[in-house]
């Protein structure tokens, strides 16, 4: 199959899996790990690139190509380093317990809730810039925003759990053990991302 054909197949599979991770995450993750296509990473990458381009515009707040490009590269590089770091830890964890890891594509799908939260937050910060006041409207908005954020966090946690459940074929105890290894590394990564001014909320 040529490149265009592969891209089309990847695009269609991505669309199908997107509907799946919203409505039937368990079954869809089983399919992603078993029959996932590496070309599905292309639409995911395009969505991320779209967000980083928008975030660069919002953060830089000026049409200066050098600053915009610098910001875009920083955001993309930061997110790519987080993704690669996670995949490497999961791969190493799989080697340690003598299992074969198929986690890269599955973990890439867990970036969908992340990018959706960041995208929504960017747009909201343009429409309703912070800080929020303690008025009734401010508190109501805050409650709604937190419900939205925590809901997406549960979705993210579920997809991360399914990545380990199907990608590494682990039971719940071992999934917690792997996350216990991941958390300090993510913490350190988040600290450096914050210190370097790339992400204040970790893009994982």
Partner 1 sequence: MTNTTYQKFVKRWEEVTELPPQTLGPLTPYYKMLVRHLKVMPWPIFVLISLILVLALYVLIGSAITFIVSLLQRGF
Q: What contacts 12, CB < 8 A, 6 or more positions away?
A: none
CA distances from 92 to 4, 87, 178, 198 (A): 34, 8, 10, 27
Binding of residue 149 to partner 1 (CB under 8 A) = yes
**Which residues of 23-155 form beta strands (DSSP E)?**
none
Distance CA 162, CA 88 (A): 17
Tokens of 23: 């409505």
Binding of residue 154 to partner 1 (CB under 8 A) = yes
Q: Which of 37, 60, 158, 190 binds partner 1 (CB under 8 A)?
A: 158
Looking at 1-9, 89-97, 148-156, 185-193, which segment touches partner 1 (CB under 8 A)? Answer: 148-156
Binding of residue 72 to partner 1 (CB under 8 A) = no
Binding of residue 70 to partner 1 (CB under 8 A) = no
Binding of residue 138 to partner 1 (CB under 8 A) = yes
Backbone φ and ψ for 85, nearest 5 degrees, come out as -60, -45
Looking at 2-10, 19-27, 84-92, 95-103, which segment touches partner 1 (CB under 8 A)? Answer: 19-27
Binding of residue 150 to partner 1 (CB under 8 A) = yes
Binding of residue 97 to partner 1 (CB under 8 A) = no
Distance CA 43, CA 30 (A): 20
Judged by beta carbon, residue 31 or residue 89, the one nearer partner 1 is 31
Distance CA 67, CA 155 (A): 34
Binding site for partner 1 (CB under 8 A): 22-27, 30, 34, 55, 58, 118, 121-122, 124-125, 129-134, 138-139, 141-143, 145-151, 154-155, 158, 165-166, 169, 171-172, 199-201
């Amino acid at each position: 199959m040529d490149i265009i054909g592969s891209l089309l197949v990847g695009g269609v599979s991505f669309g199908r899996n997107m509907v799946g991770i919203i409505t039937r995450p368990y079954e869809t993750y089983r399919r992603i790990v078993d029959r996932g296509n590496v070309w599905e990473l292309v639409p995911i990458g395009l969505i991320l690139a779209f967000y980083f381009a928008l975030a660069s515009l919002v953060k830089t707040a000026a049409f200066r190509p050098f600053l915009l490009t610098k910001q875009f590269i920083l955001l993309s590089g930061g997110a790519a380093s987080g993704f690669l770091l996670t995949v490497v830890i999961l791969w190493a964890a799989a080697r340690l317990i003598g299992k074969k890891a198929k986690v890269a594509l599955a973990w890439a799908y867990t970036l969908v809730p992340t990018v959706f939260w960041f995208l929504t937050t960017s747009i909201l910060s343009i429409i309703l810039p912070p800080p929020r006041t303690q008025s009734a409207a401010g508190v109501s908005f805050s409650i709604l925003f937190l419900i939205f954020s925590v809901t997406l966090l549960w979705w993210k946690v579920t997809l991360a759990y399914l990545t380990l459940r199907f990608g590494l074929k682990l039971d719940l105890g071992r999934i917690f053990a792997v996350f216990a290894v991941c958390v300090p590394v993510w913490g350190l990564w988040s600290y450096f991302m914050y210190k370097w001014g790339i992400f204040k909320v970790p893009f994982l």
